[in-house]
Structure 1
């Protein structure tokens, strides 16, 4: 087995994971070989540990994945801010990882969490980020309206994050 430096940073201090091996090693092997995309990121589906509800979809670079594994808390890569993000650092709603899984071709992870504070995982103050539904079976148009699920914010995001 060989190791490779992360695709997002070549600093020797950056975490090293096993380089993706053969098809069989990736799909059936017992070694973590994350397959980061060309952008250096891997998708992270985050669910509530108790309910299995999907609460967020985030992205991880090698450092975020390593920090999550090592600390047992949710760390992600913010594509909009282009920085490492520790979930709950500002809001106090830190995620404790209860279980982490990798998918069959190791290009996505599933993270089951419990969340501190109000239990909100979304920056809008809601339990999860998926609080609107897209109507299926309708003609697509620029005015296709979303339906709100009724998930009310659990905290005031302006009070926590500012204006």
Structure 2
């Protein structure tokens, strides 16, 4: 079963595939991150979403330090196998900036505008400066 699932995913030359996390009940797009084969397998085995951190070069278990976890509801592979859609139950905020989702900058009238407020400070979530993914 494991190889059957991984065979359906087209990982890039770095062994990664983009994964979009979407709140399962509202359809809100929360974030985009990367997964490698180990992250896919861990997510499917545990039901807790795990990504690959390109900056840390290690598995990134969502919510491991912040407590803001993503429980997997459904795991979907697109028609080309090159993008994943994770329907999740988000606990807390999804973005490391303390916002509910990562898509808080909108281009309006030719200018970038912040359209959502910070719900929890990164310092409160992590006890330090904002970490990157």
Bigger fraction of residues in strand:
2
What are structure 2's unaligned runs of at least 5 residues? none
Query: Superposition pairs for residues 133-144 of structure 1, below 5 Å?
Result: 133-135=106-108, 138=110
Q: CA RMSD in A?
A: 2.0
Q: Which residue number in structure 2 is paired with residue 153 of structure 1? A: 118
Tell which has more relative contact order, 1 or 2 (C-alpha 8 A, sep 6+).
2
1:18 CA drift (Å):
3.6
Tell me, what secondary structure is at the counterpart of 2:96? coil
SS in 2 for 1:160: helix
Structure 1 outlier segments of 4+, above 4 Å: none
Q: Which residue of 2 aligns with 1:129?
A: 102
TM-score under structure 1 length normalisation? 0.72
Give the deviation of 1:38 after TM superposition: 0.3
Give the TM-score of the pair, scaled to structure 2: 0.88
CA distance in 2, matches of 1:86, 1:68: 9
Q: Which residue does 2:3 correspond to in 1?
A: 17
2:27 aligned with 1:52, yes or no?
yes
